[in-house]
Amino acid sequence: MLKQERYQHFVEYFSKHQPNPETELHYDNPFQLLIAVILSAQCTDKRINQVTPALFERFPTPESLADSTSDEVFTYIRSVSYPNNKAKHLVGMAKMLVSDFHSVVPSTIEDLQKMPGVGRKTANVIASVIYNAAAIAVDTHVFRVANRIGLTTNARTPLAVEKQLTEYLPKDILGIAHHWLILHGRYICIARNPKCEECPLTWFCKYYARTHTESYLQKAEADKAKKAKEQKKKKTLDKITKELKKRSVNGSGQ
Ligand code: SF4
Q: How confident is the model at residue 249 (pLDDT cuts 50, 70, 90)?
A: confident
Closest CA to 135 of 160, 172, 103, 161: 172
Contact 65, 91 (CB under 8 A): yes
pLDDT at res. 210: 85
Percent over 70 (pLDDT), the chain? 96
- pLDDT at position 215, please? 63
Which pLDDT does position 83 carry in this prediction?
97
- Who lines ligand 1 at CB under 6 A? 148-149, 188-189, 194-196, 199, 201-202, 205, 207-208
CA of 119 to the centre of ligand 1 (A): 28
Which amino acid type is present at position 174? L
Q: Which of 111, 114, 139, 245 is catalytic?
A: 139
Task: Look at the alpha carbons of 37, 39, 41, 44 in this order and tell me if their dihedral is positive or negative.
Answer: negative
Buried b (16+ CB within 10 A) or exposed e, 133-150: bebbbbbebbbbbbbbbb
Asked if 121 is an active-site residue, the reply is yes
Could you state, in order of their start, the residue ranges of all structural domains in the chain? Answer: 3-187, 205-254
Residues 25 and 33: beta-carbon distance below 8 Å: yes
At 252 the pLDDT is 57
- Is 228's pLDDT higher than 50? yes
Taking only Cα atoms into account, the Rg of the chain, rounded to an integer number of angstroms, comes to 29
Q: Specify whether the CB–CB gap between 177 and 165 falls below 8 A.
A: yes
Average confidence (pLDDT) over 69-94: 97
Of residues 69, 62, 38, the one with CA closest to residue 51: 38
Are the C-beta atoms of 183 and 18 separated by less than 8 Å? yes
Which of 41, 39, 59, 61 shows the shortest CA–CA distance to 50?
A: 39
Q: Using the mean position of ligand 1's atoms as its centre, give its distance from the Cα of residue 189 in Å.
A: 5
Burial of 175 (0-12, 13-18, 19+ CB in 10 A): buried
Share of the chain above pLDDT 90, in %: 83
Please, which pLDDT band fits residue 22 given cuts at 50, 70 and 90? Answer: confident
User: HSE of 84 in the Cβ direction (CA atoms, 13 Å)?
Assistant: 0
Distance, CA of 133 to CA of 122 (rounded, Å): 13
- The whole-chain average pLDDT of the chain stands at 92
Taking the centre of ligand 1 as the mean of its atom positions, its distance from the CA of residue 47, in whole angstroms, is 26
Domain 3-187: CATH architecture, name and number where available = Orthogonal Bundle (1.10)
- Alpha carbons 250 and 238: distance in angstroms, whole number: 18
Q: Using N-to-C axis directions, what is the helix angle for 120-131 and 174-187, rounded to 10°?
A: 120
What is the reported pLDDT for 214?
A: 65
Q: Is the pLDDT of residue 216 over 60?
A: no
pLDDT band at 217 (very low <50, low <70, confident <90, very high): low
Q: Which atom of ligand 1 is nearest to the CA of 211?
A: 3
